[in-house]
Amino acid sequence: MKRLSTPEGLARHGFTLQGIKEWRKKEYDAGRPSGIDDFFRAHGLCVKCRGERTLVVGIRRRDADGVERAEKGPSMGLVEKYSLENPTNWLNETRKWDYLYETCHVCGGNGKYPSPEHPNLPSAD
């Protein structure tokens, strides 16, 4: 899945890194909130999932018996824990492992800010 942290993800929403930079500078110069979260808010996107509707909550991997497992936690830590860079542990021939996604709990999965049913909470991070 393309995420907003990548130029491709941004482009899907019609944004460019340059565009964001310009928006932030304009707001900053005007003395208004100019953080990246403010950008998403101003454009009606959920701050938590950045309009992606889902959050990465862990990884999917294949265990020693070839059974696919999903586990929640920080992805990089789990990749290390299960030696997922080792080809014998790969999910399939082409994929080492995959992210585990969960519907964003802040926007209820619609990617919008704010939504009447799920008013966005202040970002904890």
Q: Which of 4, 10, 45, 46 binds Zn ion (CB under 5 A)?
A: 46
| Residues 41, 46, 51, 57, CA torsion sign | positive
Q: Which of 9, 96 has the CB closer to Zn ion?
A: 9
3-state secondary structure the chain: CCCCCCHHHHHHCCCCHHHHHHHHHHHHHCCCCCCHHHHHHHCCECCCCCCCCEEEEEEEEECCCCCEEEEECCHHHHHHHCCCCCHHHCCCCCCCCEEEEEECCCCCCCCECCCCCCCCCCCCC
x/- site string to Zn ion, residues 79 to 118, per CB under 5 A? -------------------------x-xx-----------
According to CB under 5 A, which residues from 16 to 45 bind Zn ion?
none
Report if residue 47 touches Zn ion, rule: CB under 5 A.
no
Q: Which of 54, 89 has the CB closer to Zn ion?
A: 54
Q: Which of 4, 48, 61, 100 binds Zn ion (CB under 5 A)?
A: 48
Q: Which of 84, 107 has the CB closer to Zn ion?
A: 107
Q: Which of 46, 100 has the CB closer to Zn ion?
A: 46
Residues in touch with Zn ion (CB under 5 A): 46, 48-49, 104, 106-107
